[in-house]
Structure 1
C-alpha cells in the first residue's frame, strides 16, 4: 500500500489569533482571564473533524460481451465494502472493436446502474472518440458524443442504487452542451470529472478548424478554474480530478520566447497542453492538495503509479499536485481503492483490491427497462360473437336488420327516383371467405371467370 503525502497546513492559529484580536478591540483591551478562556474554547476551528471515506476506481473492463458478467461481479464485490462511498468508472464503456450502437450503450448503462454505491461515469476513448473507425461501425464521433450526452448524462444525480447529487457544466448557459463535465463533493473533498480522452485528447491533425477539440478545451479549462474557486468558497481541503486520457505531464511545453529560432522542433501537437496549463492554474488558485487520476495504457508493477511530474511555466515543480495512474493487472478482478482521511497528514491512501475467488459469476446480464410507446392509432372496438354479426353479402329476398335507407337521388326534373337499398355500382363489396366468384352481390363490372 502506497501513501500520497499531500497535506494542507492547518489554518487554526491564524483564525484563533484573529478572534482574540477582535475581542480585545471591541472591549478596549479590558478582557478578563475567564473571558479569554471562553474565547479560546469557543473560537471557530478551521475545519471540523473530517469524515473518513473511500472510493473505488475501475476502467476499461468491458471490451466485449463476454466481459459483462465479470464486470457485474466486480461491481457487486465493490458494493460489499461498506466503506466505499462511490465508484468511478474512468472511461471505455465498450471495446475498440465493438460497434458504437445505441443498444450496446443501453445495455452497458443498465449494468452500471446496478451498482450499490453511487457510480460516476467518465467518457473515454472507445466511448466516442474512436467511433469513426471501421471496427467501431464508422459513426461520426461528435454525433456519438451527443448521443451519450442525451442518454447517460441527463440526470442531476449519479448512477447507482444510492445516487449522489452532482452539478453539470451544462447548467452554465455558455457551456450548455457539456453535460459530461461534472462536479460533486463528499465531506471536505471536491471531485471533478472531465471529458479528456486518449489519444491526444482527440486532437485532429486534418485541415480546417478543429471545432470539437477547441470548444471542449475551453469548457474544460473553465470547469477546472470554477472548481478551484468553488473549493475555496466551500473551505474544502482537497480536489480530485478524473480524466480517461493520459496527459503525459512530463511533456509540458512551457512558453518559449525564442522558440521561433529553433529549427528542429517537434511537429506533433500536444492535445493536452491546455489541460496541463489549467492544472497549473488550479494548483495556484487552490493551495490544498490536488489529485489527478487517469488510466495508464501500460501495466505498472504495483497496479498504479504515484508521482508529481508537473512543472509550472518557470520550470518549478508543482508540489501540491499529485498524479495517480491506474494500471491494474487484472481489470476484471481488481479495482483501485483510495481511502481519504483528511484529518491525518497523509490524507490519501491507494491500494489494489481483489474480487473474492469464491464469489460466483452472475448468470444473466441486466436488461434495460424500456417504456412502451404510446399507441399512435385508437384501439379497435371489440366485436360481438360471429353469430350476432350481419352477413357480408345480402341474400335475395332477405332484409338486413341494420339496413338503412339511402336518400333518393334526383332524376334531373326535380323528382326523386326510387330509393336505393344497395351501394352504388362503383363500390366493390368485400368478398366473403369461401363464397364462389359468381355469388350474388358481385358487381356487374367484375370479370366472371370460368372454372
Structure 2
C-alpha cells in the first residue's frame, strides 16, 4: 500500500512538472516580447495658425506613459511656405519638445519643393544637405529629449550620405525609415532642374531598394514577427503599373511586393502626404489574378489642419502584431 501511494505521488509530481515547465518556459519567452506602444504623426505643423494645436499634441503625447517613441512621416511645413534656415530650425525646436525619442523621415515640402517661388526659390539639393545637417547631427542617434540608438544606412560606404534612413528592432519586430517623398519621389520637373537633381532621385531610389531588402533580410534572419516601414510619400498604390504618377515609386512598390510576400508575416507601410487618416490593405501581387497581399497593411497619418495622432500597439504574441488606434487630441 505504501509503495502504491509512493507511485501515485511520484506520478502526480511528474505530471505537474511536465505540464508546468512548458508554461513557465512560455512565460519566460513572452517576457522578451511584451507588447509596447508608440505614436505616429505626419504632415505637421504646417502653418503658424497650427502651432497651438501642435503644442496640444506634444503635451498629450508627452503625458502618455505607455509610449516608447514618436515617429514623424515627414512634411514639416507646407509646400509653399519658406524653406528658410529659420523655419527649419523652428521645426527642430518644436520637435525637441517631445520627451520621447523622436524619429523623422524627410518629406518633399522641406526640400524637393523648395524651388518654388513662394518657398524661396532654393536649389533643392542645397536644402537637402542642410536638412541632413540640421535634423541628423549625430547619425545613428534619434532626436527628442530622450534619445535612442538606431542603425543608419550611412554606415554603408555605398550610401554614406543617407543618415536619414535608419533601422532598429524591439521585441522581435523590425522598424525602418525610408527617404521616399512626394512630387513623384522628386521627379516633377521645374525650370532650374539639372542633371544633378535627376541623379539624386536615382541614387535615393537605389538606397531605398537596398534598405528595404536589408530590412527584410534582417527580419527573416532574426525570425521577426513583424516589419514596420515609414516613409513620407503616398506611392499611388491604386494606380496601374506604368502610370506616370507612379514612375518614381514603381521599383519600390515592386520590392515591397516581393519582400512582403516572401516574409509572409505582418507588414506595415506607414506614410503621410494625403492629409487624412487611412487604414487599408493596398498592395496587390503582380500578374493577371492581382491577389491582395493580406499580410500588408497601410497606415496613412492625420495631417495638415487635422492635427491628431495614431497610436500603434505592437503585440508580438498576437497574429496581427500591429493594432492601430486613432487618437483625436482632446483640445484640438
Does residue 158 of structure 2 align to residue 174 of structure 1? Answer: yes
Given that 2:182 and 2:273 are in contact with CA atoms closer than 8 Å, whether structure 1 keeps it comes out as no
Asked which structure has the greater CA Rg, the reply is 1
Does residue 83 of structure 2 align to residue 100 of structure 1? Answer: yes
Given that 1:306 and 1:325 are in contact with CA atoms closer than 8 Å, whether structure 2 keeps it comes out as yes
Distance 1:294 1:268 in 2: 17
Distance 1:97 1:240, change over 3 A: same
TM-score with structure 1 setting the length: 0.63
1:342 to 287, 300, 316: 316
Deviation at 1:102, TM superposition (A): 1.3
Residue matched to 2:237: 249
Residue matched to 2:272: 295
Residues 342-387 of structure 1, C-alpha deviation per residue, up to 9 Å, x if partnerless? 2223332222223333x9xxxxxxxxxxxxxxxxxxxxxxxxxxxx
Q: Secondary structure of 1:199's partner?
A: helix
Q: Secondary structure of 1:344's partner?
A: coil
Mapping of 1:176-195 within 5 angstroms? 176-195=160-179
Distance 2:267 2:63 in 1: 29
Distance 1:349 1:319 in 2: 15
Distance 2:205 2:270 in 1: 18
Residue matched to 1:273: 250
Distance 1:327 1:43, change over 3 A: closer
Residue matched to 2:259: 282
2:37 to 54, 57, 64: 54
Residue matched to 2:220: 232
Distance 1:47 1:248, change over 3 A: farther
TM-score with structure 2 setting the length: 0.84
Distance 2:205 2:121 in 1: 25
Mapping of 1:39-438 within 5 angstroms? 41=22, 48-49=30-31, 50-155=33-138, 156-205=140-189, 210-253=198-241, 270-297=247-274, 299=276, 304-314=277-287, 315-327=290-302, 331-332=306-307, 334-357=308-331
Q: Secondary structure of 1:346's partner?
A: coil
Given that 1:59 and 1:92 are in contact with CA atoms closer than 8 Å, whether structure 2 keeps it comes out as yes
Deviation at 1:327, TM superposition (A): 3.5
Deviation at 1:329, TM superposition (A): 8.6
Residues 379-411 of structure 1, C-alpha deviation per residue, up to 9 Å, x if partnerless? xxxxxxxxxxxxxxxxxxxxxxxxxxxxxxxxx
CA-atom RMSD, angstroms? 2.8
Distance 2:292 2:90 in 1: 44
Q: Secondary structure of 2:253's partner?
A: helix
Given that 1:296 and 1:327 are in contact with CA atoms closer than 8 Å, whether structure 2 keeps it comes out as no
Q: With CA pairs under 8 Å and 6+ residues apart, which has the higher RCO, 1 or 2?
A: 2
More helix by percentage? 2
More moved, 61-70 vs 183-192: 61-70
Distance 2:115 2:25 in 1: 56
Given that 2:40 and 2:72 are in contact with CA atoms closer than 8 Å, whether structure 1 keeps it comes out as yes
